[in-house]
Structure 1
Amino acid sequence: MSIQFINLTINNIDKEHLCCAISDKKHKDGVFAKKEWLKERIAEGHVFRKLDEKGKIFIEYAPLEKAWVPIIGDNYLYIYCLWVAGSFKGKGYAKQLIEYCINDAKDKGKYGVCVLSSKKKKPFLSEKKFFMKYGFEVADTAGNDYELLALSFNGKKPYFSESAKKMKIKNKEFTIYYTLQCPYISNCIKEVKEYCNKNNIPLNLIAVDSLEKSKNIPCIFNNYAVFYNGEFETNHLLNESFLKKKFNL
């Protein structure tokens, strides 16, 4: 039996699993929130394409104008995530998924495809080397490490907003900007709140709940961003052990 890819739609989203959080009960609320967020985005051209198997094999992208990221550009597709994990690696699935996205962009008359990456591999960001194989180039940079990669079909390229390049805020408290786009975030926020309350650590949570807010975030953003002492620290989803190690709290 050949393995097939499927796209989530309004008609199948309630019965289909989300690849990145399949069976872990602690992410149940996050999966529900993600699906509710997706239901509104699908009508905007958001694509969630996955292998029709129980595993973490998917690509997620959207028209850049509607993508919840502080990136500006006309007529591009923005890739939020491309993930192939576990025993499914090495079978050409990532190649099939990126080629589907590129062809979809061309079929829709887009100017290109872009994705957030970094000079050196970072958690929760796409790997630069993989995209360079398909002709992606660095279109813009932010901070010391972060890069916007773009595959342009006509020479025009997207760029980070001016706010995204600041990578600083005035508030010195431990601050997290977040959306409910990722199913892991609900539980992550819960763990961070519990840890900060237990240790009397001031915590400033900023829910990014609209396209307008996402386009004006003061740092790179792909659904999560952490500041400490006014400086951008990481896009890594935090838990108690990570908090202890990263911030010595």
Structure 2
Amino acid sequence: MELVKITHENLEKEHICCAIANNKDSQVTSKKSWLKGRLDEGLVVLSSKKKMGYLSDPKYMKYKGFETVDNANSYFELMYLPFSHETENPHFKQHLKEIKHNDSQNGFWLYYTNQCPFTAKYVPLLEEIAKKRSVDFQVVHIQAKDYNFL
């Protein structure tokens, strides 16, 4: 198997999604758009001390060279793989580190990026389900590194 380095020049023609073969699919185009903005920064993933549902597996991420650069609420870990050592490490904002579970507002909050191609399809579906069930549902689409994790 050949290892292909994704660059600004070849991103549009390369296959980047393990689950979707059609490059014209909205999920693939949203992932490529997200990736285009990250190629010069590095990759950031949300994890936890041990593998948890919907979070990246910390052992696998460490194996791939990611390192934990911040944590919040003794549950979430921010893992980072910089593409350059000239970039500042990402971090959680201080107020997120101080929130306790029972301090949360009612309803459901979803923070997401297009790192996962399936968000393009499933976030609108979740919004519709919440609306039908009268659940307070807030969506925060993180689109830039300098969002600094809220």
TM-score range, shorter chain: 0.5 to 0.7
Cα deviation, 1:132-159, whole Å, max 9, x if unaligned, reads 67998766532232335689xxxxx986
Instruction: Give the whole-Å Cα distance in 2 for the aligned partners of 1:18 and 1:135.
Output: 20
Q: Greater strand share, 1 or 2? A: 1
Structure 2 partner of 1:125: 55
Does residue 5 (structure 1) correspond to residue 41 (structure 2)? The answer is no
- Equivalent position to 1:17, from 15, 18, 34: 15
TM-score (norm: length of structure 1): 0.45
Structure 2 partner of 1:198: 132
- One-letter code of the match for 1:178? Y
Cα deviation, 1:215-243, whole Å, max 9, x if unaligned, reads 041xxxxxxxxxxxxxxxxxxxxxxxxxx
Q: CA RMSD in A?
A: 3.7
- Equivalent position to 1:182, from 116, 123, 126: 116
Q: How does 1:39-78 map to 2 (within 5 A)?
A: 39-42=36-39, 45-46=40-41, 62=42, 78=43
Instruction: Give the whole-Å Cα distance in 1 for the aligned partners of 2:114 and 2:26.
Output: 10
Residues 92 and 148, structure 2, Cα contact 8 Å, conserved in 1? no
Instruction: Give the whole-Å Cα distance in 2 for the aligned partners of 1:24 and 1:14.
Output: 12
- Equivalent position to 1:37, from 34, 38, 51: 34
Pairwise CA distance, 1:33: 1.4
Unaligned runs of 5+ in 2: 82-88
Instruction: Give the whole-Å Cα distance in 2 for the aligned partners of 1:40 and 1:158.
Output: 15
Instruction: Give the whole-Å Cα distance in 2 for the aligned partners of 1:15 and 1:120.
Output: 36
Structure 2 partner of 1:93: none
Structure 2 partner of 1:162: 94
Identity of paired residues, percent? 33
TM-score (norm: length of structure 2): 0.67
Instruction: Give the whole-Å Cα distance in 2 for the aligned partners of 1:208 and 1:150.
Output: 16
Structure 2 vs 1, CA of residues 138 and 175 (structure 1 numbering), >3 Å: closer, same or farther? closer
Structure 1 partner of 2:148: 215
Q: What SS does the aligned partner of 2:138 have? A: strand
Structure 2 vs 1, CA of residues 163 and 202 (structure 1 numbering), >3 Å: closer, same or farther? same
- One-letter code of the match for 2:48? S
Q: How does 1:116-155 map to 2 (within 5 A)?
A: 116-130=46-60, 140-148=70-78
Structure 2 vs 1, CA of residues 171 and 9 (structure 1 numbering), >3 Å: closer, same or farther? same
